[in-house]
A and B are shown apart, each in its own frame.
Chain A
Amino acid sequence: MGNVDLRMTKRGVVLYIEEYDDLDDLFVQITNKFSQLNGFFAEDDKISVMLKDKEKHSKDITEIISFIEKMGFKVGEILVGEMSQNVKQKTLSVKEKLSLVDEEDKSRMNPTKVIKKTVRSGQAIVHDGDVMLIGNLNDGGEIIAGGNVVVIGEARGVIRAGSRGNEEAIIYAVIMSPELIQIANYVIHLNEPVVNAIGYVRNGKVLVERFDTVKFGQVMNHRE
């Protein structure tokens, strides 16, 4: 057995990636896994991708996702960490729908991750808690955070905050001109860069405003 596994959980199909050295080898393994299950997925099935070693492999995430999407699947969520123990180590053989959950401990947020560098096209910062980037987020780069995102620099790539569905997550950037902003499940494209900007969700919409026009009482509501 390889280092790649497809499992069915309550949140849907999870592609579990344990360990790999070479991205091409990984892609071959993924292709093989999916081809064994030919025709098993429904049209709109979303796949979650779970990486065991996020530190080591976070840089590859965007490549892995675009590979899976090229194969014709939609990637719903990106998870990090171990597959929880009560998920049986069964590979997803034909039509065997387990209904087990890998219930992540939502209350357990990781500490803030601080990165001092340029996040370049094709690179991704993936972290379960808050992310603080000191440096630019270039076009084609991506931040995926379970919590808030602060960019001390120019943000031009993709930012996804509150990636586990936390609508209270906020995004700050000195210069905010990303390709895409996502908070929880809400997305927005900006037409013009905003300086000193805060992005937050209000009434089911992502708003991006200059920091001094935001009413903090509202934004900072019911934070844990």
Chain B
Amino acid sequence: MAKVYVITSGKGGVGKTTLTANLGTIMASKGDRVALIDADIGMKNLDVVLGLENRIVYTSMDVVNGKVDVFDALVRHKQLKNLSLLPASQVATKEMISPDDMKKIVSQISEKFDYIFIDCPAGIERGFRNAVAPAEEAIVVTTPELPAITDADRVIGLLENMNFEDSKIHLIINRFKPHMVRHGDMLTVDDIKSALSIDIIGIVPDSEDVIVATNKGIPLALMDGKDKMGKILEGIVLRLKGEDVPIPTLEELEEKQSWWKNFRNLFKRD
């Protein structure tokens, strides 16, 4: 039976899809069988971040309509054979699938995978409830800005109402900028922790590498020379698996960044 996570946020554009792709890729590269489900029907883009958009034949909509078996709709990753994507239709709408449909889909594939990550759409309407219905744990993504944090609080509240215990809700702070915190221009990790009173499972710095990787359709975890982000994301994966890996401190996050910059500058001069 797979462990099923939903990756959600309330606010749009905070990095759900990016993190789904990258956490899933790292899990798979460690040998786990991983399925990623794009629940953002009508606004899909998990396939693009994974570089799989040209391999889609069927979507979850076809499965729900009884046109194909769910295993016929799953798309395998090119390099990582144990990473699969259940694509979302771009022409359907979120109302055409129900929470029960999603539960059914997940229960059908659950035995064949170790981990399932569901990429939730922004908002708290039907799409949100579809994505959350089959999940047993939730990863809530926020950026260090007040509107994103307020929305994260709202979503955590809804998850609690849906009987998720706080221990099953994990927070990732994405697009963190250590130098801004140092200058007092950004909320600190402690500020966010006390605002949300929920366990933080990872802090992901803001990084141009993410944009480069996204545009190439290659998850960071599979790109050469991206060890810094790779390590940070790997830490999150290990923590999800229950390992006691400390979260890098502000200093460490910053240190690594300047180390990486110096390294690059060195190359430029050559």
On A, residues with C-beta under 8 Å from B are 24, 59, 117-123, 135-136, 138-141
Contacts and interface: CB of A to CB of B under 8 A. Distances in A.
A151 to B, nearest CB: 14
16 contacts: A59-B157, A117-B160, A120-B153, A120-B154, A120-B160, A121-B150, A121-B154, A122-B154, A122-B157, A122-B158, A123-B157, A123-B160, A123-B161, A138-B195, A139-B150, A140-B150
Nearest to B198: A118
Given A24-B126, A118-B197, A139 B153 contact: yes
Interface string B147-166: 00011011011101100000
Contacts of B156: 120
Contacts of B126: 24
Contacts of A136: 197
Given A24-B126, A136-B197, A59 B161 contact: yes
A123 B153 CA distance: 10
A24 B125 CA distance: 9
A141 B160 CA distance: 13
Q: Taking chain B's interface residues, is the majority helix, strand, or loop, or is none over half, making it mixed?
A: helix
The prevalent SS among residues of A at the interface is loop
Which one of A24, A117, A123, A136 has the highest number of Cβ atoms from chain B below 10 Å of its Cβ?
Answer: A123
Given A59-B157, A140-B154, 17 more contacts: A59-B161, A117-B160, A118-B197, A119-B157, A120-B153, A120-B160, A121-B150, A121-B153, A121-B154, A121-B157, A122-B158, A123-B157, A123-B160, A123-B161, A139-B150, A139-B153, A140-B153
Interface string B1-27: 000000000000000000000000000
Contacts of B157: 59, 119-123, 141
B178 to A, nearest CB: 26
Contacts of B160: 117, 120, 123
Nearest to A23: B129
Contacts of B197: 118, 135-136
Nearest to B197: A118
A121 B154 CA distance: 5
A120 B184 CA distance: 26
Q: Which of B150, B157, B197 has most A Cβ within 10 Å?
A: B157
Nearest to A120: B157
Contacts of A122: 154, 157-158
A194 B268 CA distance: 56
Contacts of B153: 120-121, 138-140
Please list the 5 inter-chain residue pairs (A to B) with the smallest Cβ-Cβ separation, ordered nearest first.
A120-B157, A121-B154, A123-B157, A121-B153, A122-B154
A140 B157 CA distance: 11
> Of residues B153, B158, B161, B196, which shows the largest number of chain A Cβ atoms within 10 Å of its Cβ?
B153
Nearest to A136: B197
B106 to A, nearest CB: 20
A62 to B, nearest CB: 10
A161 B158 CA distance: 24
A200 to B, nearest CB: 28
Nearest to B158: A122
Contacts of A119: 157
Q: Which of A24, A117, A138, A139 has the most CB of B within 10 A?
A: A138
Interface in B157-198: 157-158, 160-161, 195-197
A139 B146 CA distance: 11
A65 B197 CA distance: 27
A118 B161 CA distance: 12
A73 B98 CA distance: 30
Nearest to A119: B157
Contacts of B150: 121, 139-140
Contacts of A118: 196-197
Contacts of A59: 157, 161
Contacts of A138: 153, 195
A219 B154 CA distance: 35
Interface string B125-141: 01000000000000000
A58 to B, nearest CB: 10
B159 to A, nearest CB: 9
A135 B196 CA distance: 11
Contacts of A141: 157
A102 to B, nearest CB: 28
Nearest to A139: B150
Residue from the set A59, A117, A120, A136 with the largest chain B CB neighbour count within 10 Å:
A120
A196 to B, nearest CB: 19
